[in-house]
Amino acid sequence: MKTDNFNTKISVLGEAKIDSPLKNHGIPGEGGTRFISNNARITVDVEIETMEGFIKKKQPLPSFEQTGPREKIYFDPSKLKCAISTCGGLCPGLNDIIRSIVLELYHIYQVRNIYGIRHGLQGFIPDYGHDIMDLNPGSVSGIQDAGGSILGSSRGTQDIGMVVDCLERMNVGILFMVGGDGTLMASKRIADEILTRKLKISVICIPKTIDNDIFLVSRSFGFDTAVDIATLAIKGAHNEAAAYPYGIGLIKLMGRHSGFLAATAALAQQDANFVLIPEVDIFLYGKTGFLQALENRIKLRKHAVIIVAEGAGQNFFDDQENQYDASGNLVLKDIGVYLKDKIAQYFKEKEIPISLKYIDPSYIIRSLPANANDSVFCGFLGRDAVHAGMAGKTNLLISFWNNHYVHVPMEASAGKRKKLDPRGRLWQSVLEATGQNMFFTD
């Protein structure tokens, strides 16, 4: 990754002059809460070769500002109004994020006016008629045990001017946006419109994607839970496949453009023999094609398990008309069903009596509560989002990078995508764990 082609400076609404209430939440005898300086930074790249290159050129190392509470804050908590919105697809941990933001605002910063915007960006538009939800410790009690989002969600673009109009009418000081790449781009547009109008509104984004593909975010919440549940599907597929002569288990997992979930789940439950991802082209036919490799595996071991990411093999549908969802995203063709049909047809022509079982757990995974690891992770993200907003920082997302929580400018990440490196250690580990390369022979 090139580390010198994006800006890491964080925007602020103005000088923070108010003493943070966290001064009263210190550990007795320990000199109070450990505040984070704005000069505390985490290097973007940790490879010594890259770092030495900057040092030799006498250039500062590219770095991100570290998250955490600041000694001085920008907003007066007694007068502040905050809003929270969840957008896009569901994901484990949404309720944990909402709860952590509310509890931090209410108990630590003593903010009493916290609004939940219903059904994503639709909630800002009067024509939809969605009610505002008052959020407080009582209204978020126990929501971490439920899947989905208590605020609901929606897809589709909305008029950014009308969104900012609503924020002005409500006198909102901090807007917390929780969503994926589309939400990140919308958040940036909202922040830009706020800047154009010279308003003092902070926009803080918490990135959400099961695919774990947001640029400059090494880990996104919900991913750990998704891997957990995906392993159950792999176990089921393996048991079904192994129980029958020439049994094949085929599992389709999320991953529109990136194969992180498919690859990680395969390593977590090492029962898969083939993993197909968007970053690596699939060739079905010929002596070195996938179907011949599958036949080689079936003849050798009498069963096989296949994991395919939803965005893999889209080149097979080039002759079909493209369709788009309400948010403008390309609607992917169903590679799972396509492969299922091609596998069945291939072995029928070969007169090999396979037993093929197809599993698609996608929407089960999306709607479940977060597991323990993701729940803890969401707590850190939510609290750090509050710290950033209260300090008057804006136009940023909360990221986990190089084992630290950092502030990343929206413009550095929005519209870009993180992809699995086919030459990297993760994919090479998948090839070693599955042994799939050994079946692609002449």
Catalytic positions, please? 211
DSSP state of 162: H
Amino acid identity, position 345? Q
Query: Rounded distance, CA 38 to CA 222, Å?
Result: 29
Neighbours of 125 (CB within 10 A): 16
Query: Rounded distance, CA 189 to CA 432, Å?
Result: 44
Pick left, alpha or beta for residue 313 (phi over 0 → left; psi -120 to 50 → alpha; otherwise beta).
left
DSSP percent split of the chain into helix, strand, coil, nearest 5: 40, 20, 45
Token pair recorded at residue 410: 């929206």
- Quick check: 154 and 180 in contact, CB under 8 A? no
Query: Rounded distance, CA 89 to CA 50, Å?
Result: 37
Query: Rounded distance, CA 434 to CA 152, Å?
Result: 39
Task: Report how far Cα 208 is from the mean position of its chain's Cα atoms.
Answer: 3
- Quick check: 112 and 106 in contact, CB under 8 A? yes
Residues sharing a CB contact under 8 Å with residue 427, sequence separation 6 or more, in sequence order: 259, 263, 277, 279, 280, 420, 421
Residues sharing a CB contact under 8 Å with residue 59, sequence separation 6 or more, in sequence order: none
Query: Rounded distance, CA 219 to CA 93, Å?
Result: 13
Query: Rounded distance, CA 256 to CA 213, Å?
Result: 9
- Quick check: 101 and 386 in contact, CB under 8 A? yes
Quote the radius of gyration of the chain (alpha carbons, Å). 24
